[in-house]
Chains A and B, each alone.
Chain A
Amino acid sequence: MKAKAITLNVNGRRHQVTLFPNVTLLEALRDLSYTDVKNGCEKGDCGACAVELNGKVINSCLVLAWQADGAQILTNAGLGTMESPHPLQEAFADAGAVQCGYCSSGMIMAAKALLDENPNPSETEIREAISGNLCRCTGYTQIVNAVQMAAEKMMQQRAQE
């Protein structure tokens, strides 16, 4: 195995890293301190490590870092901050969609991917979109509520623009 220098563009920051071919994008991102990307299973079962890769949501444990060479990567922490949260992040906080919070980052990325494609989804569409993201705390009801709240807010924002 030989290491290779690659470029990872994460949340608008550019990182040059030298990695072996068997390093997953999840490991690479966490090593770069993007700790909002969570490790829950390393098998694609739980969705806690979901990030956006060139605009598409993926489980970063199922992608090798080399495959993301030069790509644009967006993690939940890149969506917003405590001072200026993304509408989804704010809705998750307000609707009770966050309990332990461990699934939240991946869940929010899955919800964002849905709203990018479908700004006004039905409950069934929301449940389908987040069905690859496991949550053990909420039973999903308040997560569905949060996605609906955020969708409404984002539509209003767009209407005002």
Chain B
Amino acid sequence: MTVKGKTLPQVDLPPLRQVGRPLRRVDALGKAVGATIYAGDFTMPNMLHGKVFRSSEPSACIKQLDVNKARALPGVACVLTADDLPDGKLITDMPGQTGQERRKGSDAPVLAARRVRFVGEPIALVAAETLAIAQQALELIKIEYEPLPGVFDPLEAMKPGAPVIHVPDNIVSSWKIRKGNTEAGLAAADLIVQNTFRVPFLDHAYIEPEAGVAWVDDQDVINIRVCTQVVEHFRSIAQAVGVPHNKVHVRGTMIGGGFGGKEDITVEIFLALLTKETRRPVRLAYTREESILAHSKRHPFIITHRTGVKKNGRITGAEIKMISDSGAYPYLSPYVLLYATVTSCGPYRIENLKVDSVSVATNNPFTSAFRGFGGAQAAVAYEQQMDEMAKALAMDPLEFRKINYLKTGDSNAIGQEIKSAVWLEEEAMQALAALGEKETISDDAIKVGQGFATTMQSYGRIMWFHDTSRSWVGIEQDGTVVVRCGAPDLGAGQANSLCQIAAEVLGVSLTDVTFYNSDSAVTPLAGTTTATRQLYMSGNATLKAARMVREVLLDHAAEHFKKEPSNLDLADNKVFIKSDPEQWLSLADLSKMCAADGLKLQHLALFRAPFTDKLNPENLQGDVFPDFTFSAHAIEVAVDTKTGEITVLKSVGCHDVGRAINPIAVEGQIQGGSAQGIGYALMEEVQVKDGVTRTPSLSEYLIPTAKDLPTTKAIILESGTGVGPFGAKGIGEPALTPAAPAVANAVANAIGVRIHDLPLTPQRVLAAVDRAKKG
């Protein structure tokens, strides 16, 4: 593949003082010295230990459940079953979204009553004086199942006569796109390329298993300290437990990784029920095995592309079919499928497009959010399809893509106009240039290949969710700054970005800013830390709040200096006259003067994303996402054709992030996303056989170690055209999306044959090499 030098479009971004600098994140040192307290680290006086009794059957009736012996065990404070629950529904739809109608049938039982639908489904809860007693109590619970026929393959589950998981049928969700005339488009093609790609179940494998501690306080409020991406779950928790919304207080901690796996409710309702019942503090922490059984998985997808293309490389039409396995309960499957559908044909102009997507219930583990949220699965398919088409046309993969890339002002698959910069070509070129020449390896059995992928991934929530965020910024009388914002921090630097934005606007150093976050009662509600939305949503809210404080400061300083506010600026903890910086006043003095005059030095700001109405699922056409991040990833691999082993030699990620608030944090997102994508391509798979998870630990479910990965070079481009603060785009999910297809394309480039299923295990590589030999 050829890489020609190309200069980037010139962008003049306004100079900034704090934003854009690779500063030490506000949360970094506390974590590095081990001072940060995580959800599992809290203990309380008189605390009980909780445990969950779970189904061992993938599909069964509970004939008998006897907890009497467990209840009678000395040291057991309580055992709860479905019979003890007031309502007992776990709301799985639209986590954290304010005031929205939820899908009918989207709820799951908190504790299974008569029927279990997957292995690991919760049935009973125990609280005891010690963990050992709680464990012993679990063993004393007697249960008798009557096995029912199960279905473990979405294709089987769609057939007439298949066991039905939820009445009326196993179709959890479906979306369609009908754009142009696909039949005519395909008929006009010189060549039609058809491929089916499959991706497996994945586990988030955050290093911190789910944990929390809960207690009832003197206002009868249920307090829950927990690692969660969504403190707004307090409403669903209250509903499930049967108390008013204002009697549940979620106190989010720093999260030891989430990646979507801590988006749905995990331990919260169990903790609330146990502490409400016992009126004592309760701790519940999952073991690794329980974590893998209990939380959602990434959706497996089967994706078929049938694409027509002219000899000159122009795509004339495409037909895409997507089937995802939603597992035993829907959770966010409809939305994951929506993301996959909207990005099904990737960042390419396809005028004639027909997409049919379904999500299907099975008795497998339930699937829900995972970084990339359907967009990642879609990209694995469309980027391999693009390489296959280029190969069929004997064209360079980048030259072929360039003919079809979306450009600013074009409409995407659903007719939504792309308003921000689309720098796919530049990104691909930069990534490939950084990859350089292929390494030469003298061993003939080892084949070296290069590949890349260019992708689009939304940031910000689906617009018909009517998303909002709030942030509060205040300046103290010594000139230091406080940010209060409900945004949970996943470890990606969410809180730091807000602090860096406040520091910029108020002219202080990052170290002068203290933040309070992730509290459903004490910090202003900021929405979920999901969907790559916090920088966009809470970043904008913080920017707005800080600017309101700045205005008060400048107005007052203007009176003091007898100048117009526009002639003044804030920097280095001072207000000064722009034309005469020697005339200045410290922020501390200015704040005191403002306080003495009774001025408002604290502001709460609300940021609203654009709102739309729900689109027609029979033909998605309209606006769904606030904007997209466009990305490229390039990979070089060495494939040992004797053993099937793949080594990643080089990895480069190039992303237009609009504006990097903190470049080190952005690099970390790109490198971490790349690592997860490489894991997706090469080794990760939750193996599920007849509904039973065969990889319930980190020695069976393998994620990349430091030895499995090369250094990932992160290239940050800044178009300044995003809808986030200072023109920023989101990077959390977009960082992952291009990596897996780039690896797959590199492997195909190395061995000359395509492996359609992930992960690219040695067995699959050897089989493919065999296939290639046989021609």
Contacts and interface: CB of A to CB of B under 8 A. Distances in A.
Interface of A: 30, 35-36, 38-43, 45-46, 48, 75-77, 79-82, 85-86, 89-90, 92-105, 108, 123, 126-128, 130-144
B32 A45 contact: no
Contacts, number: 188
Interface string B685-713: 00000000000011100011111010110
A99 B707 contact: no
Contacts of B27: 98, 101
Nearest to A48: B207
B207 A135 contact: yes
Contacts of A105: 34
Given A79-B33, A140-B709, 10 more contacts: A43-B697, A89-B32, A92-B32, A96-B25, A98-B25, A100-B208, A101-B30, A102-B38, A104-B32, A136-B259
Nearest to A123: B711
Interface string B661-691: 0001101100111111000000000000000
B725 interface: no
B29 A131 contact: no
A90 B667 CA distance: 19
Contact of A93 (B28, B254, B287, B491): B28
Contacts of A128: 706-707
Given A35-B41, A77-B35, A93-B28, A100 B287 contact: no
Which of B32, B38, B673, B675 has the largest number of chain A CB atoms within 10 A? B32
A104 B667 contact: no
A100 B33 contact: no
Given A75-B34, A134-B698, A136-B207, A42 B288 contact: yes
B451 interface: no
B28 A40 contact: no
B135 to A, nearest CB: 12
Given A45-B697, A136-B703, A141-B712, A102 B208 contact: yes
Nearest to A92: B32
Given A102-B38, A128-B707, A96 B699 contact: no
Interface string B510-525: 0000000000000000
Interface of B: 22, 24-25, 27-38, 40-41, 204-209, 254-257, 259, 285, 287-288, 490-493, 664-665, 667-668, 671-676, 697-699, 703-707, 709, 711-712, 714
A139 B652 CA distance: 12
B664 A137 contact: no
Listed from nearest, the 3 A-B pairs whose CB atoms lie closest are A36-B34, A100-B491, A101-B31
Contacts of B697: 41, 43, 45
Contacts of A76: 33-34
With most chain A CB atoms within 10 A of its CB, the pick from B492, B698, B714 is B698
Contacts of A45: 288, 697-699
Contacts of A133: 706
Contacts of A132: 705
A83 to B, nearest CB: 9
B698 A141 contact: no
A87 to B, nearest CB: 11
Contacts of A139: 668, 671-676, 704, 709, 712
Contact of B207 (A46, A80, A108, A141): A46
B256 A100 contact: yes
B491 A46 contact: no
Given A45-B697, A45-B699, A101 B25 contact: no
A82 B257 contact: no
B698 A140 contact: no
A96 B698 contact: no
Nearest to B679: A136
A138 B33 contact: no
B707 A89 contact: no
B257 A100 contact: yes
A86 B492 CA distance: 23
Contacts of B673: 139
B712 A99 contact: no
A142 B35 contact: no
Nearest to A124: B707
Contacts of A131: 705-707
A45 B285 CA distance: 18
B698 A43 contact: yes
Query: Which residue, B40, B257, B676, B697, has most C-beta atoms of chain A within 10 A?
Result: B257
B699 A82 contact: no
B29 A90 contact: yes
A48 B206 CA distance: 11
Given A42-B287, A136-B205, A104 B668 contact: no
A103 B207 contact: yes
B714 to A, nearest CB: 8
18 contacts: A36-B35, A41-B288, A42-B287, A43-B288, A43-B699, A85-B32, A89-B32, A93-B25, A95-B664, A98-B31, A99-B493, A101-B27, A104-B32, A131-B706, A134-B698, A139-B672, A139-B673, A142-B668
A130 to B, nearest CB: 5
Given A45-B697, A127-B707, A142-B667, A99 B672 contact: yes
Contacts of B31: 93, 98, 100-101, 104
Contacts of B208: 38, 40, 100, 102
B285 to A, nearest CB: 8
Contacts of A102: 38, 206-208, 256-257, 491
Contacts of B206: 100, 102, 136
Nearest to B131: A27
Contacts of A93: 24-25, 28-29, 31-32
A133 B32 CA distance: 15
Contacts of A140: 671, 675, 706, 709
Contacts of A144: 706, 711
A64 to B, nearest CB: 16
Contacts of A43: 288, 697-699
A141 B671 contact: yes
Contacts of B491: 99-102, 137
Contacts of A41: 288, 697-698
Contacts of B35: 36, 77, 81-82
A95 B35 CA distance: 18
Q: Which of A89, A126, A130, A136 has the most CB of B within 10 A?
A: A136
B671 A142 contact: yes
Most chain B CB within a 10 A radius of its CB, from A45, A81, A108: A45
A82 B33 contact: yes
A104 B257 CA distance: 12
Which of B256, B287, B674 is the most central at the interface, judged by chain A CB atoms within 10 Å of its CB?
B256
A29 B151 CA distance: 45
A141 B711 contact: yes
Residue from B25, B40, B673, B706 with most neighbouring chain A CB atoms (10 Å): B706
Contact of A40 (B288, B493, B706, B711): B288
A100 B258 CA distance: 9
Nearest to A35: B41
B207 A38 contact: yes
A108 B41 CA distance: 19
Contacts of B665: 96
A86 B30 CA distance: 12
Contacts of A123: 711
Contact of A101 (B256, B664, B704): B256
Nearest to B40: A39
Contacts of A95: 664
A143 B207 contact: no
B672 A134 contact: no
Q: Which of A82, A85, A142 has the largest number of chain B CB atoms within 10 A?
A: A142
A69 B255 CA distance: 33
B36 A134 contact: no
Contacts of B699: 43, 45
Nearest to A86: B33
